[in-house]
């Protein structure tokens, strides 16, 4: 571009005019000045060509870059958008949008999390008016998982915002998606990654054999999935592919379990601390002094309760005075009353100790007493008791791993997880398909073994897969994965811990 240099042109014209006037030619001088107004004597100056001038703004106008710095996404992925320009972010690090933005124009970086909104991310400086320098957008993400529950072959979890996520087997609608998931694993309906279920806010969840329970933030109870034995509690035996509300009471906690071929039942504690049960009752696992199937919640006795756990065909509960109670099948000593007395149709107290927690497994039980000591009883066919002995079983609570203390215990079908008081994770029992997170050369562990030196806050397990959350709120899974119950996007069994974004 060539710009008119009026100042230089005027000086040249004035110099020539003076020369002419000295020679007495006044008319010629006047004509020379007039010619200046016709631009006949303008001189031009070369300047760089510009095409980005914005009307109403002073030059210079430039185009700047938008940089992005991302932390916390780990194995997830982000998709960022600014106008028509898209930016893929596969891992933590620094990135730059390919298209620059003209200074003075607005910009607005928006975020899509892939897959399925798996992260909670905060952005700084992601919108505004583009200055005359580059902009850096800071994105900080977090895997904020808070609660997990593993069913027979499906998994549930809650995030810090109370949203519900589900994955794994969906053949009976146990994921609660209402039929929107179209993925299949072999011949089964499934999801191999966590999928958000609805928009409600949840405070508690429980995954059973092929059904699920949850409590929303207003205390209402909801259920979905298989309902063959009335385990949903909606007064019917109709399968539900999406959560349905159960009654009008408010609830504090729920538990669901079941072993294929033995029925399935559910337990719950209402806001007044009363215990309720429903579903299959062939072995007295409901605890209402009968063997009658219950298609809606029924109150169990008049005591108040702190916790309850539904096992394969038996149940455990801790009353408000910290005493331990058990009921249901006692075919292999899982009740813990010192004998194999058959079915126990109503809760019976187990010993006189004070208990912190109890977990009912497939055909065995585990509990932590108030002093942190760990006790197990019932079937030991896969060394799930962790007593280091042959698979003879125990008909009364038997202390293991003394003098170590535990804060949480989780009993599965035939393997067990425990979190010690220092947050370390221990496992024992069957390692079938990698259920313990150990190499496939290990068939089982007869006593607790440390499987991770990280600090953990909660865990759970299904038939042969396991879930756990670290103290940084990251979710990890391992074990049997034929229908995607691990949640890593594959159907490959995992013998090591894998992070679930």
Residue 204 lies in a domain: yes
In a domain, 36, yes or no: yes
Which candidate, 66, 72, 71, places its Cα nearest to that of 125?
66
User: Looking at the structure, do residues 108 and 248 belong to the same domain, yes or no?
Assistant: no
How many domains is the chain partitioned into structurally? 3
- For 31, the enclosing helix (H) or strand (E) is helix 26-37
Q: Are residues 31 and 160 in the same domain?
A: no
Q: Which of 298, 300, 175 is nearest to 235 (CA)?
A: 298
In a domain, 129, yes or no: yes
Instruction: From 122, 142, 162, give the residue that closes a domain.
Output: 142
Q: How many CB atoms lie within 10 A of CB 214?
A: 28
Q: Examine the domain organization and report whether 70 and 207 are in the same domain.
A: no
Angle subtended by helix axes 26-37 and 6-22, to nearest 10: 170
Q: Are 130 and 166 found together in one domain?
A: no
Pick from 253, 149, 122: which is nearest to 158 by CA?
Answer: 149
85 and 228 co-located in one domain: no
Q: Evaluate whether 183 touches 168 at the Cβ level (below 8 Å).
A: no
Cα gap 269→287, rounded to integer Å: 14
User: Is residue 58 situated within a structural domain?
Assistant: no
Check residue 112 and give its pLDDT: 82
Same-domain pairing of 371 and 406: yes
Q: Are residues 407 and 479 in the same domain?
A: yes
In a domain, residue 55? The reply is: no
Q: Which of 142, 173, 207 is the last residue of a domain?
A: 142
Q: Are residues 361 and 383 in the same domain?
A: yes
Domain end (from 142, 167, 202) = 142
250 in a structural domain: yes
Q: For residue 79, tell me if it sits in a domain.
A: yes
pLDDT means over runs of 10, the chain (501 residues): 48 52 49 47 45 53 93 77 92 92 94 68 91 94 88 94 94 95 92 94 96 98 97 98 97 87 89 98 97 98 97 97 97 94 94 97 96 97 92 93 95 96 97 96 96 94 95 93 96 96 79
Q: Which pLDDT score, from 0 to 100, does residue 43 have?
A: 45
What CATH number should be reported for the domain holding residue 180?
Answer: 2.130.10.30
93 and 105 together in one domain: yes
Residues 260 and 275 in one domain: yes
CATH classification at residue 98 = 2.60.40
| Boundaries of domain holding 233 | 145-500
Whether 56 maps to a domain, the answer reads no
**CA–CA gap between residue 224 and residue 266 (Å, rounded):** 12
Residue 138 shares a structural domain with residue 272:
no
pLDDT at residue 374, as a whole number: 98
- 153/127 same-domain check: no
- Whether 141 and 73 have beta carbons less than 8 Å apart is answered as yes
């Amino acid at each position: 571009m060539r710009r008119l240099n009026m100042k230089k042109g005027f000086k040249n014209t004035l110099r020539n005019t003076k020369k002419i006037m000295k020679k007495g030619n006044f008319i010629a001088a006047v004509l020379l000045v007039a010619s200046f107004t016709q631009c006949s004597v303008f001189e031009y100056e070369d300047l760089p060509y510009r095409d980005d001038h914005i009307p109403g703004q002073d030059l210079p106008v430039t185009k700047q870059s938008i940089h992005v710095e991302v932390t916390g996404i780990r194995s997830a992925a982000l998709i960022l958008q600014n106008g028509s320009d898209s930016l893929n972010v596969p891992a933590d690090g620094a990135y730059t949008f390919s298209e620059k933005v003209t200074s003075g124009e607005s910009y607005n970086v928006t975020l899509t999390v892939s897959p399925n909104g798996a992260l909670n991310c905060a952005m700084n400086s992601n919108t505004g008016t583009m200055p005359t320098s580059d902009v850096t957008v800071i994105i900080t993400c977090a895997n904020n998982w808070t609660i997990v529950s593993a069913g027979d072959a499906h998994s549930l979890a809650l995030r810090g915002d109370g949203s519900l996520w589900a994955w794994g087997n969906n053949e009976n609608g146990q994921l609660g998606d209402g039929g929107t998931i179209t993925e299949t694993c072999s011949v089964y309906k499934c999801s191999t990654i966590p999928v958000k279920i609805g928009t409600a806010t949840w405070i508690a969840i429980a995954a059973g054999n092929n059904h699920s329970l949850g409590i929303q933030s207003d205390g209402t109870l909801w259920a979905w999935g298989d309902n063959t034995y009335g385990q949903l509690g909606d007064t019917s035996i109709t399968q539900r592919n999406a959560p349905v509300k159960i009654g009008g009471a408010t609830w504090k906690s729920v538990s669901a379990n079941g072993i294929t071929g033995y029925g399935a039942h559910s337990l719950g504690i209402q806001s007044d601390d009363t215990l309720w049960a429903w579903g299959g009752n062939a072995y007295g696992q409901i605890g209402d002094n009968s063997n009658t199937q219950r298609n809606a919640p029924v109150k169990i006795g008049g005591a108040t309760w702190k916790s309850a756990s539904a096992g394969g065909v038996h149940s455990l509960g801790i009353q408000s005075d910290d005493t331990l109670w058990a009921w249901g099948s006692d075919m292999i000593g899982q009740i813990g009353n010192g004998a194999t007395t058959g079915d126990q149709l109503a809760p019976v107290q187990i010993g006189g100790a004070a208990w912190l927690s109890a977990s009912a497994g497939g055909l065995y039980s585990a509990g932590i007493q108030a002093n942190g000591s760990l006790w197990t009883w019932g079937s030991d066919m896969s060394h799930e008791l962790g007593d280091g002995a042959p698979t003879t079983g125990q008909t009364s609570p038997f202390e293991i791993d003394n003098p170590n203390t535990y804060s949480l215990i989780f009993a599965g079908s035939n393997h067990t997880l425990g979190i010690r008081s220092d947050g370390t994770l221990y496992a024992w029992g069957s390692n079938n398909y990698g259920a313990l997170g150990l190499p496939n050369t290990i068939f089982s562990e007869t006593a607790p073994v440390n499987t991770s030196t990280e600090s953990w806050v909660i865990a759970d397990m299904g038939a042969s897969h396991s879930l756990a959350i670290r103290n940084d709120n990251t979710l990890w899974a391992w074990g049997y994965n034929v229908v995607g119950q691990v949640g890593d996007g594959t159907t490959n069994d995992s013998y090591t811990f894998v992070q679930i974004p």
